[in-house]
Structure formats: structure tokens, C-alpha cells
Amino acid sequence: MSDTLKYDICDVAIIGGGPSGLAAATTLKKSGVERVVVLDRESVAGGVPRHCGHPPFGIVEYKRILSGPSYAKKIVKTAITAGVDIWLKTTVTSLGNEGRLTLISPDGPGALEANRVLIATGARETPRSARMISGQRPLGIYNTGALQSMIYLKKRVPFHRPLVVGTEIVSFSALFTCRKAGITPVALVEENKKTSVMWPIGYGTRLFGIPLLMNTSILSIQGHERVEMVKLSDKDGNEKDINCDGVLFTGQFIPESSLVRMSHLHINQITGEPIVDKYGRCSDPSYYAAGNVLFNPVKVAGKCWRAGQATAQWIVKDLMGTAKRKI
């Protein structure tokens, strides 16, 4: 244990250096807030777009079409240029009363006391376990986020012939990512009779020549070391085995809000979103939230960027004492 707890203060602390957090930080600085600190647990800021190797990003923010990684670099640069302090490899471990945060970083445990805190921790996909899927637990079962970081950040592939589950926008991202990495999905399955989103899925499956199995659910995953087969069932209960070497669960986003759940802040117990007023302010008025941690369903980066900006403007007013306190 380190004997000295590092302690610091700031005007606004922002948890999460993705599009919403960085947009808010940039806006705050530009509005004249003195000390704005972004805390991100990863070693590189930018959030999820860092590993979305595909366009379109940046239309709203920069009026250009960028790939995720270039977009991520750009929003980080914009924030730094505006004078935002970004602390990397810094995990917020608890949210205390009135903006008292505890942190862990390779320098040791620390504390940061902020006048206002913005929670911008994003969202993640529901893993296999929380979907209560039957079967064995071999290697080769991932979410899109993990697949994309493996491919775009580490240039590695976790499978060659996965079954892809879900038909949300992110499922299209998944197909696109597979295509780029030379991975051939054996099929795309959807439990419902309609795809969650129409356009990219129909288009994507046709474009990539991947069978789209509607009204189909997973009975079980089989495989000893790695995934070998998935048992499927259609709406009439007809069973079908499909050989594959992985399963990719896409979508069913949930807020990355465990910090909030473990804290004094109020949370929507079912969806996991922090409860906020129309300004994005939490039950403890020192805290705000913005971006995909609040959006249900999740939104694209541009929308999160906008949301970060808007919430930052409220925080500025709040700091100046001009915001109306209406909850």
C-alpha cells in the first residue's frame, strides 16, 4: 500500500474520456472554467471510437467523415488544445458525497475533490452470461467491442467462422469488422421476427452474403476448448445445428454505470442509468451524467458529443449560480 494518498482538487472532474466526456471538457474550458480534469482508466483517451476502425465518425463535430481511431485522436487533440487536463490509467473507484472521488492509478491510490463531476462512462454490450444462454463455456465467445479492439487495436482475430447474434446497428459494425479482418460469419441470428434496425442489416447481410436467420434463438453453445457448434431453434421449435468456431453477441447495450450503482446516487434499477433531471443532473447535485451512459438505446458518437456539449453548458451555468434548480 502506498503511504501517501494523492489528493487534488478541480472545478470539474469528468469520468470518461470518450466523445461525450471530451466534448464536455472542451466546452467547459472554452467557457472559461479553470481546472477541468478528464479521468480515463485506459492508457489512451478517446473512448469506444478508438477501436471502431470504420467510418462514419466526425460529421457533426468536424464536418468530415473520419474513421473511429482518427476521430478519437482528433477529439483528444481538440480537448488538449482547449486546455483540458487528461489523466490516463486513472480509474475512478468510488463516487462520494459532493464530488469527492477516489481514484486508483499506477502512482497509487488518490482522491480528487471536484466542484462538479460529470459521469461519461459510456455503455457496453450484454455478455453471454447475463443473457443466460445455455451450453458450455468454451473459448471464442465475445461482444462486438472486444472483437473490434482485438482487430483494430491488436491486429488479431479470435475466430474465423463465428455465429453473429443480434440485428442492431452495432451488428452491422460487427459484420463490417469481420469482413475487414477476413472473418466469415456463418450466419446472423435474430430472435424476433423483425430486425432491430432495417437498413444496414438487410443490406449488410446481402452485401456480405451471410445467411440471416430470423425468429431464431440459441438453444445452446457447444465445444470443449473452443466453440464447435451452436444449437438453434426456429419459432416452430425446429432445431438446427450450426458449426462455427465462435459466437459474437452484439448489442443489448447497458450503461457502464457500476460506479453509480455502488454509490449514493439514484439509479434506474432496471436499466442501470443514473437518474437525472432535464439538465443531466443526478440526485446529488454535484454530479451530472451525459452520453451513452444515459442514452437508451445508445446513440452514435456525434450525438454523444452534442450531449456532452449541452450538459457542459448547464454545468457552466450551475457553477455561475444562474441555473434554475428544478428537479
Partner 1 sequence: MINKPDKIIQKQLQGDVTSNSAFLADTDVAVIGGGVVGCAVARKMALKGASVVLIEKASDILDGASKGNSAILHTGFDAPVGTLEWQCVQRGYEEYLAIRKSFNLPLLKSGALVAAWTEEEESRFPDILKKGSENGVKDLGMLSRSEVLSREPNLSVDIRAAITVPREFVIDPWSTPLAYLMQALENGGKALFKAGVTGGEFTGSKWLLKTARGKVRARYVINCAGLYGDILDRDVLGSSEFTIKPRKGQFVVFDKAAHKLITSIILPVPTKRTKGIVLFPTIFGNLMVGPTAEEQEGRDDASVDRNILNELHAQAIKKLPALENIPVTATYAGIRSATERPEYRIIEDTERNWITLGGIRSTGLTSALGLAQHVYGLLLKKGAEFSEVANPSIPKVPNLAEHLPRDCETPDYGEIVCHCEMVTQREIKAVLESDLLPAGSLSGLKRRTRVTMGRCQGFYCSAHLAELTEGKFQEPIAVGETDE
Ligand X SMILES: Cc1cc2nc3c(=O)[nH]c(=O)nc-3n(C[C@H](O)[C@H](O)[C@H](O)COP(=O)(O)OP(=O)(O)OC[C@H]3O[C@@H](n4cnc5c(N)ncnc54)[C@H](O)[C@@H]3O)c2cc1C
Binding residue for partner 1, selected from 158, 204, 291, 308, defined by CB under 8 A: 158
Q: In b/e form, how buried is each residue of 289-321, taking b as 16+ CB within 10 angstroms?
A: bbbbbbbeebbbbbbbbbbbbbbbbbbbebbee
Does 139 participate in binding partner 1 (rule CB under 8 A)?
Answer: yes
- Residues from 236 through 295 that contact ligand X (CB under 6 A): 256, 259, 291-292
Query: Could you check whether the bond before residue 285 is cis, i.e. omega within 30 degrees of 0?
Result: no
Nearer to partner 1, 151 or 315 (CB): 151
Does 50 participate in binding partner 1 (rule CB under 8 A)?
Answer: no
Binding residue for ligand X, selected from 26, 144, 205, 263, defined by CB under 6 A: 144
How do beta strands 108-119 and 6-15 pair? parallel
Does 243 participate in binding partner 1 (rule CB under 8 A)?
Answer: no
Q: How far is the CB of 152 from partner 1 (least distance, A)?
A: 6
**Residue 233, SS3 per DSSP:** strand
Binding residue for partner 1, selected from 29, 41, 116, 306, defined by CB under 8 A: 41
Nearer to partner 1, 240 or 261 (CB): 261
To which residue does cell 454509490 refer?
263
Binding residue for partner 1, selected from 270, 321, 324, 325, defined by CB under 8 A: 270
Nearer to partner 1, 176 or 288 (CB): 176
Residue 156: which of ligand X, partner 1, none does it interact with, CB under 5 to 8 A by kind? partner 1
> Looking at 13-21, 76-84, 183-191, 209-217, which segment touches ligand X (CB under 6 A)?
13-21
Nearer to ligand X, 121 or 195 (CB): 121
Binding residue for partner 1, selected from 150, 164, 298, 307, defined by CB under 8 A: 150
Q: Give me the residues paired with residue 9 across strands.
A: 113
Query: CA separation (Å) from 142 to 30, 157, 159, 250, 260?
Result: 40, 11, 10, 9, 25
To which residue does cell 467523415 refer?
65
Question: What would the grid cell of residue 139 be?
Answer: 473459448
Please give the Cα distance from 103 to 77 (Å, whole number).
24
Q: In terms of Cα–Cα distance, which of 105, 44, 103 is closest to 75?
A: 44
Binding residue for ligand X, selected from 13, 14, 27, 41, defined by CB under 6 A: 41
Question: What would the grid cell of residue 54 be?
Answer: 470504420
> Looking at 11-19, 126-134, 163-171, 206-214, which segment touches partner 1 (CB under 8 A)?
126-134
CB contact set of 159 (below 8 Å; sequence gap of 6+): 140, 183, 226, 227, 244, 245, 246, 248
Please give the Cα distance from 164 to 187 (Å, whole number).
6
Question: What would the grid cell of residue 33 be?
Answer: 472554467
CB contact set of 81 (below 8 Å; sequence gap of 6+): none
Binding residue for ligand X, selected from 57, 152, 159, 279, defined by CB under 6 A: 57
Residues of the shown chain interacting with partner 1 in the complex, contacts defined by CB under 8 A: 1-2, 41, 43, 51, 53, 89, 91, 104, 106-109, 124-125, 127-130, 132-137, 139, 142-143, 145-146, 149-160, 177, 180-182, 220, 224-226, 245, 254, 256, 258, 261-262, 269-270, 272
